[in-house]
Amino acid sequence: MSRLFDIDTIETDLRGFQRDFAEINDQLAMRREDITDTMVAQIVDAYRFLNELLEKGMDLFTPAGLHALLEMNHIVLCGLDSTTRSQYYHHLNETRKSFLQRIKPIKEWVLKKRDNGNPYKLAAGFYSRMLSQPQLFLEGNHRTGNILLNYLLVSKDADPFVISPATALPYLDLSGDIKFSNKDNSLDANVKLPGHRKRFRVFLEQHSNPRYLCEGGS
């Protein structure tokens, strides 16, 4: 039996995070944009899409899988509605061009590391590489990155992390530290980012939870 994401449980915790976001935002080191109903719905749609990929046995870090990986970001940003997609055609096209330029070193790192060692170290390493500057996507890196790191965790039989009211503050502050680091800068790459990755790995290990998973088909 394969493990899939429990959509209802994920949506419940995301809605709780959204409900408490104003209070959480006041405590963050750097304030974030509001979390809207549409944002939550599109994250949930992206998890449904990921479940479909898991059922098919899709590897997101193969050439064919990279198209699905990019589609994950498109769903997070624009959802599934074709009219909305057409309105954002130029932005999505620019996202695709940027993605194709930036994914190669991240993909090669994942392929080199994913069969060895701690799955949370793998997930933290991926997340720091896609979220730090220059970022993998033009927009939606936090939201898409959380989904993709969970793909890596589940593919290694580890439990995923989904943001909730209880975990939002440390998660967003740790993510902010990563976001405002530049992997092309030697000081950030050799001093700051290794520390951020280690702290984020420990955070994932402490706050991952099997309740976000359910049994899929055989």
Report pTM. Answer: 0.96
109-168 pLDDT, tens digit per residue, is: 999 999 988 999 999 999 999 999 999 999 999 999 999 999 999 999 999 999 999 999
Domains and CATH numbers, the chain: 3-215 (1.10.3290)
Q: What angle do CA 185, 190, 196 make, to 5 degrees?
A: 100
Question: With 80 as the cut, is the pLDDT of residue 204 above it?
Answer: yes
pLDDT at 116: 87
Predicted confidence band at 38 (pLDDT cuts at 50, 70, 90)?
Answer: very high
Give the helix/strand (H/E) hosting 214. Answer: strand 213-215
Q: Hunting for tokens 């749609």 — which residue is that?
A: 45
Residue 90 CA to residue 79 CA, distance in Å, equals 16
Q: Look at residues 34, 49, 12, 24 and name the one whose alpha carbon lies nearest to residue 144.
A: 49
**Rounded to 5 degrees, what are φ and ψ at 48?**
-60, -45
Confidence category of residue 83, pLDDT binned at 50, 70, 90: very high
